[in-house]
């Protein structure tokens, strides 16, 4: 088989066989097929797409490109939640301890920030001492012991995705449905969970800007998960506005801790309750309403917060920061972003809000960049709020004073103020199962 023929076939809009897909993934991981040929194939896939069978074969080839985890030594049912990426999305930090405190195991592999979106691993590493690289046996022991452990993806898990993702990032081929589906599900299926709840974000801060696109993505991921024998459910959720009020790593940890104690912003708490309830009901812990009650109790009686503290301690983190969040250091430079006219905040470009937080130091421009954990944005006003000139819309935090002006302008340009109140979308825009 020759790679040039595989590229030509897809360029001409034909369907690739399983053998052709396996050939290109294996050859790429083993270094026999160069980046330039894979780039050409990715662009052909971007334009010509893939049918369901090809997408499933690509997913399984990515899953099988490296080691697969074996969670058979975990006692009890394992459930995972995966978000397609958003701004201010710290739900994993809240829902995973809630679910674990109710007896369902969360053996979770998470990612780092990507472009304008944040990542759970970067957020957890904002807690001093927190270790996200734990070998498999210890990982399983922690899950058996306290019900939860969250680590980064090991080098051996789905290595094809690592190489492909880096190439997609620099060849403008990230936002292709079969490539997103196979990337996310290839990794998820290499882990060994029984149930997966997908949080497919939709809107200006998400990979998919429209609900139709998000539903298509959700349906494809659910179908592939089902084919692999997993119980699957996908929620399409709003990302036309940031989630909660905090964007940036330690700011988000603080907000997650408040939410675990029942003191978080309403949109974040509501979405966490919905996601945790879906994880429990998919794991057949009870009816939807029974699960929802349990989730609310776990927040109210402190057991979800206690589980988070135990996880931090088991993973080497300093839990005194969680018990007293004022210990997190505050960035040395701050700036208030002020409204320049009167009216309702009717629309925000959420992706730009995420980019502004990256400019402040909360994310990376290049893979090797260091993160400023204290950098980010606290929102005082959100879509639907009424503002007067001079009202503070947000406060910026950074260790790099020169980034403040650019982030300030970006936020102002991305915040539309109108005379009429906007229609604020519900948090959940659809369910696919
Ligand atoms: N997250 C992933 O892991 N892969 C994608 O392609 C998009 C989001």
With pLDDT > 90 as the criterion, what percentage of the chain qualifies? 90
How does pLDDT run across 290-313, given as a tens digit for each residue? 999 999 999 999 999 999 999 999
**Nearest atom (ligand 1) to Cα of 179:** 6
Output the pLDDT for position 166. Answer: 86
Instruction: Give the end-to-end CA distance of the chain in Å, rounded to a whole number.
Output: 38
pLDDT at residue 370 above 90? Answer: no
Tokens coding 157: 């898990």
Tell me the CATH number at 37: 1.20.970.10
Output the pLDDT for position 327. Answer: 98
Q: Whose CA is nearest to atom 2 of ligand 1?
A: 184
- The last residue of a domain, from among 292, 323, 354: 323
Output the pLDDT for position 333. Answer: 98
Q: Is the residue at 300 inside a domain?
A: yes
**pLDDT, mean over the chain:** 96
The catalytic residues are: 82, 161, 168, 183, 187
The answer on 290 and 236 residing in a single domain is yes
User: Using CA atoms, how far apart are residues 19 and 376, in angstroms rounded to an integer?
Assistant: 46
Output the pLDDT for position 365. Answer: 77
**Nearest atom (ligand 1) to Cα of 85:** 8
- The last residue of a domain, from among 255, 289, 323: 323
CA 110 to chain centroid: 8
Output the pLDDT for position 220. Answer: 96
Q: Is the CB of 84 under 6 A from ligand 1?
A: yes
Nearest CA among 362, 361, 349 for reference residue 411: 349
Q: Considering its fold, how many domains does the chain have in total?
A: 3
Of 117-126, 148-157, 360-369, the range with the lowest mean pLDDT is 360-369
This prediction has a pTM of: 0.94
Of 68-72, 217-221, 309-313, 345-349, the range with the lowest mean pLDDT is 68-72
Q: Is the residue at 67 inside a domain?
A: no
Number of neighbours of residue 88 by Cβ within 10 angstroms: 30
User: Using CA atoms, how far apart are residues 27 and 274, in angstroms rounded to an integer?
Assistant: 42
Output the pLDDT for position 98. Answer: 98
**Averaged pLDDT for residues 172-176:** 88
User: Using CA atoms, how far apart are residues 14 and 29, in angstroms rounded to an integer?
Assistant: 24
pLDDT at residue 154 above 90? Answer: no
Number of neighbours of residue 68 by Cβ within 10 angstroms: 13
The answer on 407 and 342 residing in a single domain is yes
CA 192 to chain centroid: 19
Which domain does 364 fall in, by range? 329-418
Read off the pLDDT band of 320 (50, 70, 90).
very high
């Amino acid at each position: 088989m020759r790679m040039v023929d595989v590229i030509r076939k897809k360029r001409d809009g034909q369907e690739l066989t399983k053998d052709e897909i396996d050939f290109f993934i294996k050859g790429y991981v083993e270094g026999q097929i160069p980046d330039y040929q894979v780039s050409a194939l990715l662009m052909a896939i971007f334009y010509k797409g893939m049918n369901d069978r090809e997408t499933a074969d690509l997913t399984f080839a990515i899953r099988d490109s490296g080691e697969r985890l074996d969670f058979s030594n975990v006692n009890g049912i394992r459930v995972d939640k995966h978000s397609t990426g958003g701004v201010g999305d710290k739900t994993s930090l809240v829902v995973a301890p809630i679910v674990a405190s109710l007896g369902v195991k969360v053996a979770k592999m998470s990612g780092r920030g990507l472009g304008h979106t944040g990542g759970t691993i970067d957020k957890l590493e904002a807690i001093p001492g927190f270790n996200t690289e734990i070998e498999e046996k210890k990982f399983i022991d922690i899950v058996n012991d306290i019900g939860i452990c969250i680590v980064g993806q090991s080098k051996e898990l789905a290595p094809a995705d690592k190489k492909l993702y880096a190439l997609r990032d620099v060849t403008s081929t990230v936002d292709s449905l079969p490539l997103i589906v196979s990337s996310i599900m290839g990794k998820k299926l290499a882990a060994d969970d029984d149930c997966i709840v997908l949080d497919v974000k939709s809107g200006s801060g998400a990979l998919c800007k429209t609900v139709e696109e998000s539903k298509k993505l959700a349906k494809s991921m659910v179908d592939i998960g089902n084919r692999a024998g997993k119980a699957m459910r996908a929620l399409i959720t709003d990302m036309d506005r940031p989630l909660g009020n905090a964007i940036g790593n330690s700011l988000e940890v603080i907000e997650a801790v408040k939410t675990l104690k029942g003191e978080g912003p309403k949109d974040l708490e509501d979405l966490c309750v919905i996601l945790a309830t879906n994880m429990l009901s998919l794991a057949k812990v009870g009816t939807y309403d029974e699960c929802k009650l349990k989730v609310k109790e776990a927040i109210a009686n402190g057991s979800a917060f206690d589980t988070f503290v135990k996880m931090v301690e088991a993973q080497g983190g300093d839990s005194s920061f969680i018990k007293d969040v004022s210990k997190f250091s505050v960035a040395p430079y701050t700036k208030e972003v002020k409204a320049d006219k009167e009216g309702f905040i009717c629309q925000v470009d959420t992706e730009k809000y995420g980019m502004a937080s990256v400019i402040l130091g909360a994310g990376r421009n290049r893979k090797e960049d260091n993160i400023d954990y204290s950098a980010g944005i606290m929102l005082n006003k959100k879509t639907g709020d009424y503002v007067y000139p001079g009202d503070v819309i947000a406060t910026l935090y950074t260790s790099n004073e020169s980034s403040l002006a650019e982030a300030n302008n970006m936020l102002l340009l991305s915040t539309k103020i109108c005379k009429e109140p906007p229609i604020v979308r519900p948090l959940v825009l659809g369910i696919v199962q």
